[in-house]
Amino acid sequence: MFSTIGSRPHSDRKRLQSNIYSKSYLQSSEDIRAISTAVVIDRLIPILDKLAETGQEFDIMETLYSATMDLVTAFQFGLSSSTDFLCDVAERRRWLELYQKRHIHRFAFFSQEFPTLTSFLAKLQIRLVPRWVDDANAQLEAWCLSHVDRCLATHSSGAQPPGFNPVVVNALYEGLIRQDPSLTPSQARLLVASELLDQVAAGHETSSLTMTQLILHLSAFPNLQGLLHREFSSLPHDPPPSPRELDAFPLLQVVLRETLRLTPPIPGPQPRITPPSGCFLTPPSGKQYFIPRDVRISASAYALHRNPDVFPMPTAWRPDRWLDNFISTPASSPGRSMNGPDKSTATSETETKDRYFWAFGSGGRMCLGSNLAMLQMKLLIAALYARYKTVVVEGQDTSVADGYMGYIGNGKLMIRLEKWEASGRSRPDSAISMGSGESGV
């Protein structure tokens, strides 16, 4: 679906999955509840407790990669067929090595932009993409297909206990067969595997990059960590908070949203093809520009998020800029989006900020998994700061790569954890204060 050009095929495929990725479905899902308990409470917290007790430095990005992979694949394949990267370190590092060969080295550029030329030259033994990249791709594809096959082998056995249902596999497979009865089971399984490989990639990496940036920012503001910890003080440690409970924390909303604004995980251009009739683009100046058919155009979250007319001091990390968006309306309002304010009560200023917020895109091509991404990020951040303070190890390269993906430094962030005082209460300042410097951090 991610690479589908035509709007109709794209919308048909998206429609098969839109329900299970909707906010209402996720909020009421017993599978999500069981998966959250299994991954966060049973796997992640014991690991973090040991790290906090010893004061050991560790790579939080790799830990977040593991947690998000376990959450995403459990929703797709069910817990019995999902990854256990938090506990299985060897398998985690083997898989991440394959994945990084595919993406970090940016060889995907040639296959994406010049697929015919890349294929033709390879037949002449001129390889724009090294063979080891193709081998890594083949192994990842085989890995995904084996997980789909495992789910489909028990597809006819009916509903499983909460957490063990392959929610996405079932929805896609059944939807494809219903949409096109001429599809054979073999064809349907390949379509499902192709779709889910994209979702695995997008679902774990973008959320992990965002949370790593959030931890980097929060570690520079101990008082803000204290405020966040106090916000979570009413939460039981087990079971994990529900999606509705997570939506009720305004400070969690604003620090996450500001991180997505300043350092979106995909800052690069999002391409679109103009329709057969062409289209008009109307910038803020009001002047219309006609773009003919079949022209590739693009917009980027990086550019939209740094408009100083909308976001004063755009290069500063200032969560307070979003307070009106999230405090003016109760988070439990029925019409409220997990990704923004209630449009029915938003002021002109909050509407403008919300319109320029483009971390997940917009319209028919908006990120399918945005609600799941927001949910898992809120869940993991709440689990972390309800229990620990974070301290970033000094002397690291924390610059953001200039590319399609917002990778950090050398691909890791070393931190230490400290447990909050036994009372569970901190004494931070009562207001969010970022200072007045342009850097914000």
Task: Give the integer Cα–Cα distance in Å for 164 and 87.
Answer: 18
Q: Is 80 exceeded by the pLDDT of residue 431? A: no
Q: Is 50 exceeded by the pLDDT of residue 56? A: yes
Looking at residue 151, its pLDDT comes to: 94
Looking at residue 336, its pLDDT comes to: 37
Q: Mean per-residue pLDDT for 26-39?
A: 96
Q: Taking the model in full, what pTM does it have?
A: 0.89
Task: Give the integer Cα–Cα distance in Å for 373 and 375.
Answer: 5
Q: Mean per-residue pLDDT for 72-95?
A: 97
Task: Give the integer Cα–Cα distance in Å for 26 and 42.
Answer: 21
Q: Is 70 exceeded by the pLDDT of residue 278? A: yes
Q: Is 80 exceeded by the pLDDT of residue 237? A: no
In this predicted structure, which of 142-146, 202-206, 316-320, 385-389 has the lowest mean pLDDT? 202-206
Q: 249-261 pLDDT, tens per residue?
A: 999 999 999 999 9
Adjacent-strand bridge partners of 272: 297
DSSP per-residue letters across 56-98: --EEHHHHHHHHHHHHHHHHHH-GGGS--TTT-HHHHHHHHHH
Task: Give the integer Cα–Cα distance in Å for 401 and 408.
Answer: 6
User: Long-range contact list for 421-427, CB < 8 A, 24+ apart?
Assistant: 424/233, 425/230, 425/233, 426/226, 426/229, 426/230, 427/226
Contact 211, 376 (CB under 8 A): no
Contact 237, 387 (CB under 8 A): yes
Residues 246-273 as b or e (16 or more Cβ within 10 Å = b): bbebbbbbbbbbbbbbbbbbbbeebebe
Q: 159-196 pLDDT, tens per residue?
A: 789 999 999 999 999 999 999 999 999 999 999 999 99
Contact 221, 94 (CB under 8 A): no
Q: Is 80 exceeded by the pLDDT of residue 441? A: no
Going 62 to 65 to 67 to 70, the CA torsion angle's sign is negative
Q: 296-355 pLDDT, tens per residue?
A: 999 999 999 999 999 999 999 999 999 887 764 444 333 334 444 444 445 688 889 999
Looking at residue 385, its pLDDT comes to: 96
34 confidence band (pLDDT: 50, 70, 90)? very high
104 confidence band (pLDDT: 50, 70, 90)? low
Q: How far apart are the first and last CA of the chain?
A: 38
Q: Mean per-residue pLDDT for 364-372?
A: 91
Nearest to 225 by CA among 253, 263, 251, 260: 251
Rounded to the nearest integer, the mean pLDDT of the chain is 88
In this predicted structure, which of 192-206, 267-281, 338-352 has the lowest mean pLDDT? 338-352
Task: Give the integer Cα–Cα distance in Å for 93 and 109.
Answer: 24
Question: Can the peptide bond before residue 239 be classed as cis, meaning omega within 30 degrees of 0?
Answer: yes
Q: Mean per-residue pLDDT for 9-31?
A: 92
Q: Mean per-residue pLDDT for 50-55?
A: 96
Which residues lie closer than 8 Å to 223 by C-beta, 6 or more apart?
Answer: 428, 429, 433
Q: What is the dihedral angle through the alpha carbons of 244, 386, 64, 212, rounded to the nearest 10 degrees?
A: 100
